[in-house]
Amino acid sequence: MNDIVEQIDRWRLAGQRVALATLVDVEFSAPRDPGASLAVSEHGEVAGSISGGCVESALYEEAQDAIATGRPRLITYGISDSEAIEHGLTCGGTLRVFVERLEW
């Protein structure tokens, strides 16, 4: 988390807007525990990780929208273990992620 905080501070000092996605709940299996975070700058730079998989590309889009609109949101992503295996993922499960624009 310290690396993310340091990167967010660099973006802040450069005058960039930033969104933070935080994993708040996990059901069944997931690669990361609650508290994992992903930060996205308005210029499209990324720091951190929520899942290491396809959820992150969707979160990138949500973060860009949060930067543009200022609207926070709680998003749920889910897939069963059998569906995950079919798509070459290591695990299924449900993730709940809170995405917000950071205000300075």
Read off the pLDDT of residues 29-67 as tens digits, 9 standing for 90 and up: 777 899 999 999 999 999 999 987 778 999 999 999 999
Kindly give, in sequence order, each residue whose CB lies less than 8 Å from that of residue 7, ignoring residues fewer than 6 positions away: 39, 45, 47
Task: Tell me the average pLDDT across 69-97.
Answer: 78
Give the C-alpha separation, 70 to 62, whole Å: 11
Q: Per-residue pLDDT for 22 more than 80?
A: yes
Give the C-alpha separation, 81 to 32, whole Å: 16
Give the model's confidence band at 80: pLDDT under 50 very low, under 70 low, under 90 confident, else very high.
low
Report the number of distinct structural domains present in the chain: 1
Q: Per-residue pLDDT for 97 more than 60?
A: yes
Cα R_g (the chain), whole angstroms: 14
